[in-house]
Structure 1
């Protein structure tokens, strides 16, 4: 039971870590890697921005490795929480929001519509400054209001 709570807690904590990383790293000193993500109609299958997947995957892999030595321990489940968040991020951000893959084209859910709208607002600013909506799963309530009527 405790390991499930560690995994869930890590998953939830990753939203805050992602928000901070997006605002202060991607829109800060890491802008060189993130900038192409803000260019409309970027023509390549991969973006430089995809390097951030590796950045988040490395701690998860290390935690898996150390979480089974000398026996299964809580580090493994922290790594699992990071992995689960990474999968959710990929499905929400790359598949649902940016439609890099056409898997969920007919989604008509109020929550997903609000997520897409908040992310569109984020991309309205093409530069690294003056952004908003840096989160991924939790966005300001104002974006949900119009879909909850």
Structure 2
């Protein structure tokens, strides 16, 4: 397979994974597999939670697609690359940046990342499986962008007042 179709498959898979993650989170993790996902909505001292099994499931699917994908000769190899790329971004954005499971990333002043964090906090306001909102990872509702911008404006205004 040539580079352009392979790259297209990777990008399409990555994009589809955002929809898939939203769908699975809303209807499966907050549905029949709540017994696994619940660990993510309650505070606990352990570094690993049952919810991490979802990461292993998608990692296994990606690995199988790599193994049977003829070193890039078959299209499903590139689907595996897209799933792995999404999983990598998911890990850094969700587990490292938002939840601080690895403490090497400081709070960002980036509007998108602040809006993303606000949306995620809205999701975690509800501890139970029902009543949550904001199930996606990378797509953020416009209202959170506006809140993040407003927060930045308020912070700048306070700095200006402080300097006077």
Class of the TM-score when normalised by the shorter of the 2 chains: over 0.9
In structure 2, C-alpha distance between the alignment counterparts of 1:24 and 1:146, rounded to whole Å: 27
Secondary structure in 2 aligned to 1:148?
A: helix
Q: TM-score, normalised by structure 1?
A: 0.94
CA deviations 1:5-40 (Å, max 9, x no partner) are: 100110010000000110111101111111111013
Gaps of 5+ in 1: none
Matched, 1:38 2:45: no
In structure 2, C-alpha distance between the alignment counterparts of 1:81 and 1:5, rounded to whole Å: 10
Aligned to 2:57: 55
Aligned to 1:77: 78
CA deviations 1:55-76 (Å, max 9, x no partner) are: 111211111112117x712111
In structure 1, C-alpha distance between the alignment counterparts of 2:78 and 2:70, rounded to whole Å: 10
Aligned to 1:139: 140
**How many residue pairs get matched?**
147
Which structure's residues are more often helix, by fraction?
Answer: 2
Please list every run of at least 4 consecutive aligned residues from structure 1 whose deviation after the TM superposition is greater than 2 angstroms: 146-149
Structure 1 vs Structure 2 CA RMSD: 1.3
- Most deviating of 77-86 and 100-109: 100-109
Aligned to 2:153: none
Q: How far apart are 1:88 and its partner, in Å?
A: 0.3
Matched, 1:66 2:74: no
Q: TM-score, normalised by structure 2?
A: 0.86
